Amino acid sequence: MEKSVVYEQRSKVLESFRDIMTESGIQAAFSPYEESRVPGGVLSALFGDIGSSGDREVAAEFFFHPLFSDEDETQFFAAVFNIADGTERGRADEIAKGLVLMNYYLPLGSFGYDEESGILVFKLTCPMPARLDTEALHEQVDTVIGSSLNTVAGFADIVTQLAEGMINAPAVRRLFEEPV
């Protein structure tokens, strides 16, 4: 299948999710290739009411990684959430240790930390067949967006507490080792 056909389909699916999110009251925007420089475009969204207090906003971007050739059978879809930024640089080691422990217990995706910018992110990248029909592709993208959003919502408080120094890596371990 030609890459241009695949990218056009991907753009339409991401645009449909922009429409769904907007209708649901979520701030969302689609940036086509001309703006984003990502084949298939980028869907950006701002999710509110994240975490137990419901007062946290989390920005996210969703996009397909580029295909290398017309013969590629698989394309990767990514969901990236910016959970916190401007975290204290002096806590980098403790944050990294805590995130490694969290990632061990996660069923999917991973949390990451950029010490220079202080940004904490969650990223989930999933392979998808390049030749999916539009309905099947829509269902798969919906699953990735929903799963990643649920993971972020479920762990946002722990990540934020870790970033703010309210808990440390041993406390993160205890949270996961205690029976539910």
**Quick one: average pLDDT of 27-47?**
96
Element (H, E) at 158: helix 134-163
* Domain locations along the chain: 3-177
User: What token pair was written down for 58?
Assistant: 């989390």
What's the confidence (pLDDT) of residue 179? 61
Angle at 132 between CA 126 and CA 133, to 5 degrees: 135
**Quick one: average pLDDT of 38-62?**
90
pLDDT tens, position by position, 6-16: 999 999 999 99
pLDDT tens, position by position, 107-162: 999 999 988 888 999 999 999 998 899 999 999 999 999 999 999 999 989 998 99
pTM: 0.92
- Rounded to the nearest 5°, which phi and psi values hold at 72? -55, 135
Highest CATH level, class, for 3-177: alpha beta
How many residues are listed for the chain in this entry?
180
Q: Quick check: 112 and 99 in contact, CB under 8 A? A: yes
Is the pLDDT score of 180 beyond 70?
no
pLDDT tens, position by position, 51-71: 777 678 899 999 999 988 888
